[in-house]
Amino acid sequence: MMQPDDKIYVAGGNGLVGSAIVRQLRKQGYHHIVLRSHQKLELTRQADVECFFEAEKPDYVIDAAALVGGIRANAAAPADFLYINMQIQNNLIHAAFRQGVKKFLFLGSACMYPKFCEQPMREEFLLTGLPERTNEGYALAKVCGSRLCSYLYKQHGAPFISAIPANTYGVNDCFDPSNSHVIPALIMKYHRAKEEHLPSVELWGTGKPLREFIYADDIGDGCIFLLNHYEGEEPVNMGTGEEISMSDLSRLIGEVVGYQGEIVTDPSKPDGMMRRMLDSSRLLNMGWAPKVSLREGLTRLYQWYLENGPACK
């Protein structure tokens, strides 16, 4: 079990998930948190990472650092998403192992699962098929990071674990029009439509695909739970157990934003996977459960967007 005085290094602590982990750590009484910005520590440089670990000697490490982006960014730069993420995670995992940390938690992604995966997706389905081509580089890197943790546990008994969160959203999300994920993209679209009094908004695809979303602060809470209660070779899914169609998600975001126009689907545009949901029964059966409903999370995120404006990009 982590103690309040333990030194906890959160890699990527300024990002969407990393900042949520930091908030939850502080909320739960952990006060010795180590953070380094990208400018202060370049995680792709092995020597720099090893020097940092030798100097700081963290007790626990949570790896929430990654090059991330939407479909367009992943499809345009697969080499970057593979190489940079492999460098970051390999350097962190290797340095933490050499340093003998008490526990290391690696955060993966639901896109690690095969494109044509049985639903809901269970942990044993990893590597049973090919990933979605549009984000293959990122997915392959995340699979390798999770497997390296598993192999260190299997070969050395090292306390290295990994979690696979569902689609994540929340405070500090990316609101860059060219690089955002679906929820911030829809919030921007419906906010603009409300401000400009547009009669309708177009939703790509049929609106039928089903997706699962988890609020970032719930991931932070789940990470702390795993560090305190789980040790094992297998990765652990982290989701809500609830899914929503893209049409219903759009209507819900429209309600939260206050947009009263019509939402029109465009079936000529691609739907992507028709269903993508994690089977999180392993984690839920341990006694953990998410706390933030989708409506509440969207309301929090929209309020944050209104308060931060251009700073969200």
The model's pLDDT over 26-63, given as tens digits with 9 standing for 90+, comes to: 999 999 999 999 999 999 999 999 999 999 999 999 99
Question: What is the per-residue pLDDT for 156?
Answer: 98
Residue by residue, pLDDT tens for the chain (313 residues) are 999 999 999 999 999 999 999 999 999 999 999 999 999 999 999 999 999 999 999 999 999 999 988 777 888 999 999 999 999 999 999 999 999 999 999 999 999 999 999 999 999 999 999 998 888 999 999 999 999 999 999 999 999 999 999 999 999 998 887 777 889 999 999 999 999 999 999 998 999 999 999 999 999 999 999 999 999 999 999 999 999 999 999 999 999 999 999 999 999 987 877 889 999 999 999 999 999 999 999 999 999 999 987 555 5
Question: What is the per-residue pLDDT for 313?
Answer: 55
Question: What is the per-residue pLDDT for 192?
Answer: 95
Q: What's the pTM value of the predicted model, to 2 decimals?
A: 0.94
**Mean confidence (pLDDT) of the chain:** 95
Strand 167-169 to 244-245 pairing: unpaired
CATH number belonging to domain 8-172+212-243+276-292: 3.40.50.720
Question: What is the per-residue pLDDT for 211?
Answer: 95
Q: Domain residue spans in the chain? A: 8-172+212-243+276-292
C-beta neighbour count of 313 within 10 angstroms: 14
Is 138 catalytic? The answer is yes
Catalytic, out of 30, 60, 113, 138: 138
